[in-house]
Structure 1
Amino acid sequence: MSTSTETQAFALRLRQALESCGVRLSPTVVANEFNLRYWGRSITPHTARNWLLGKAIPTQDKLRVLADWLQVGPDELRFGQAALTPKVSEGLDAGGALSMVDREMLSRYLSLSLHYRKTVRDVVSALVLASQAQKPD
């Protein structure tokens, strides 16, 4: 994949992630929201514009901040779905593959719009927090 194609694909994924989180596709908004979360040197709206238009890809540290903010994996944001690999040990069968039930659930999840995927992630995060709160120390 050429550099131009890679940056365009990244920009598309970034715009989709922003839209799924309800963030306006404005370089100023993106720069301001990003800078609230990033402890390094601030970015300018021009930098955010370059990300949104597919003229540049952020460095790894900035990519991680974007991914955390937008609740997507950094690899998914940077490289897309093909880069995703399951990192779960539970739900794997004896051969190390996901069980049929889990594959079906993931297939259904991936068929959802980005907005609904975010909702599912939010629900799962809330359930994990509630589960951890119920565990005795």
Structure 2
Amino acid sequence: MAPTPHATEAQAFASRLRQALAAAGIKVSPTVVANEFNLRYWGRSITPHTARNWLLGVSIPMQDKLRALADWLQVSPDELRFGLDSGGTRAVREPASPWGELSMQDREMLKRYQALPADARKTVRDVIAALHAQVQDKAPER
């Protein structure tokens, strides 16, 4: 029996959710997801069973819960829900990244950076340059 379109969609969502969790350094666990989600969502809480269904591709959260997940994981709700289209571009059309494939978190961070005023962007660049120099100083020589 062929999977239904909803089942295929739910599986794809589950894969994107697991990827976003891993990229954020969060354990892919129904209990962890339910507990962390409930700390951030002001509506009716979810159970670990609900989180398990999301992670296994049995169900997809409603829009309000999807937004809370996306905010927590620092990703776009549209990309978390719909992913990339078959052409490899974002479901919500945006210009292609000049840096190649970036994680959802990196794309969201860059959008937020670009929305900052010029003086704040300079501060961010200075901090990154200082962190990069610090890491380079600690890197073992080859």
The two structures have a TM-score, normalised by structure 1, of 0.71
Matched residue, 2:131: none
Matched residue, 1:4: 7
**Higher alpha-carbon deviation: 125-134 or 45-54:** 125-134
The answer to whether the 8 A contact 2:34-2:48 is kept is yes
Structure 1 ranges of 4+ moved more than 4 A: 126-134
Change (3 A) 1:5 1:30: same
Change (3 A) 1:76 1:37: same
CA distance in structure 1 between the aligned counterparts of 2:51 and 2:83, rounded to whole angstroms: 19
2:126 aligned with 1:118, yes or no?
A: no
The two structures have a TM-score, normalised by structure 2, of 0.68
CA distance in structure 1 between the aligned counterparts of 2:26 and 2:32, rounded to whole angstroms: 8
* Correspondence for 2:77 among 59, 67, 74: 74
> Pairwise mapping of residues 79-98 of structure 1 onto structure 2 (< 5 A)?
79-82=82-85, 83-86=91-94
Per-residue Cα deviation, 1:36-60 (whole angstroms, up to 9, x for no partner): 1100010000000000000000000
Change (3 A) 1:40 1:81: same
Between structure 1 and structure 2, the one with the greater Rg is 2
* Correspondence for 1:31 among 31, 34, 58: 34
- Any stretches of 5+ residues in structure 2 without a counterpart? 86-90, 122-142
**Structure 2 letter corresponding to 1:125:** R
The answer to whether the 8 A contact 2:16-2:80 is kept is yes
Per-residue Cα deviation, 1:18-74 (whole angstroms, up to 9, x for no partner): 100001001000001100110001000000000000000000000011111111111
Secondary structure in 1 matching 2:43? coil
Per-residue Cα deviation, 1:75-104 (whole angstroms, up to 9, x for no partner): 111111221213xxxxxxxxxxx5xxxx4x
Matched residue, 1:95: none
Q: Aligned-pair RMSD on alpha carbons?
A: 2.4
Paired residues, number: 113
- Any stretches of 5+ residues in structure 1 without a counterpart? 87-97
